[in-house]
Amino acid sequence: MSTPIMLATEPVDGNPERPRPVLVTGAAGRIGSSFAEYAHERYALRLLVRDRQDADTVRAWGEPAVADLCGSADLRDVFAGIDTVVHLAADPSPQADWDSVRDNNLVATYTTFAAAVAAGCRRIVFASSIHAVSGYPDGYQVHAADPVNPGDLYGVSKCFGEALARMAAVQDGLSAIVVRIGSFQPRTEAVREENIAMMNSFVSHRDLNQLITRCIDDRKLRFAVFHGLSGNRFNRMDISAAQEWLGYAPADDFTDLNRDLADLDLRRRVKPHDARHDKGTTL
């Protein structure tokens, strides 16, 4: 099993400008707009969208750029001077058909990586998905070093992006960090009783924004795969690699937020089964 972590031989400093120039693709989407609002005072954001109407919606958070990553547009001006690319643009539906997956998730991802390499960017943060490993059986906690195991065509497209990230890091000198994102939802959705299905995949806005920021600012990684979930009591994907390598410190736990679960106080009542808590129970 290959490691999901490759260290850089020298600090990955990139563009010394401050604030750091960051390009966000899919900036008008749910994750893109959340991150832009969160990070616009920290970075010099260039916000890539598909049409001018979307450009107006993101203008308050950075410099809008209009281009279609699926087409043959010249992207040199869009990527010029960029330190880090946060690639979020995609068709996010697990039910997406082949035509949409091909254009929005395969072609657009390849175009983004190629443009980042051509522009001499320092790093790309690629938004993968829990769907890249959703083929594992129920009850199995996926670790970042486990092989990809997609459960649908959307997941397959994210595996393609992860492979491009590895190739770019090894062959092209572009530092690449993959984040497999879970159920990205506001805390207000976690509170609702009917959303208990997100218990093992929830990631809040503030936790994912923190994780993306840590991926951008890291100076030691050439390539890595991390899992983007909150600090839930029961997580489908293990988040310890992000905690160890990036100092990721999630603030939210679905079992504390959800009305059905909060009263159960699961963090206190479900034992971790270590020597501190299992006195007298060992065989």
> For position 78, which CATH number holds?
3.40.50.720
Residue 119 falls within a domain, yes or no?
yes
Q: How far is CA 83 from the centre of its chain?
A: 18
Task: Check residue 283 and give its pLDDT.
Answer: 54
Is residue 269 in a domain? no
* Residue 101 covered by a domain: yes
Least confident of 83-92, 112-121, 236-245, 255-264: 255-264
Model pLDDT, residue 74 = 86
Residue 46: per-residue pLDDT: 98
Is 92 among the domain residues? yes
The pLDDT of residue 44: 97
User: What pLDDT score does 277 carry?
Assistant: 56
Q: Does residue 147 or residue 283 have the better pLDDT?
A: 147
Instruction: List the one residue out of 204, 208, 207, 181 whose CA is nearest residue 258.
Output: 204
pTM of the model: 0.92
pLDDT score for 278: 57
> Is 268 among the domain residues?
no
Higher pLDDT, 87 or 282: 87
What percent of the chain has pLDDT above 70? 92
pLDDT (mean) for 234-248: 97
The answer to the question of residue 280 being in a domain is: no
Mention every residue, 6+ apart, whose C-beta is less than 8 A from residue 153: 96, 98, 101
In a domain, 157, yes or no: yes
- For 6-28, what is the mean pLDDT? 83
Instruction: Work out whether strand 221-228 and strand 5-7 pair parallel, antiparallel, or are unpaired.
Output: antiparallel
User: Domain count of the chain?
Assistant: 1
pLDDT of the residue at 1:
46
Q: Which domain holds residue 88?
A: 5-258
pLDDT given at position 27: 98
The burial class, CB within 10 Å (0-12 / 13-18 / 19+), for 35 is buried
Query: Model confidence over 199-219: pLDDT tens digits?
Result: 999 999 999 999 999 999 999
pLDDT value for 217: 96
What's the pLDDT tens digit per position in 151-195?
999 999 999 999 999 999 999 999 999 999 999 999 899 988 889
- pLDDT at residue 24 greater than cutoff 70: yes
Cis preceding-peptide flag for 19 (omega within 30 of 0): yes
**pLDDT at residue 271 above 80?**
no
pLDDT at 16 over 60: no
Instruction: Indicate if the pLDDT at residue 113 is higher than 60.
Output: yes
Q: What is the pLDDT, as a whole number, of residue 9?
A: 77
Name which of 25-34, 210-219, 250-259 the model is least confident about: 250-259
Q: Collapsing DSSP states into helix, strand and coil, what is residue 137?
A: coil
Burial of 184 (0-12, 13-18, 19+ CB in 10 A): buried
Range 1-24 average pLDDT: 78
272 within a domain of the structure (yes/no): no
When mean pLDDT is compared across 14-28, 119-133, 167-181, 243-257, the lowest value belongs to: 14-28
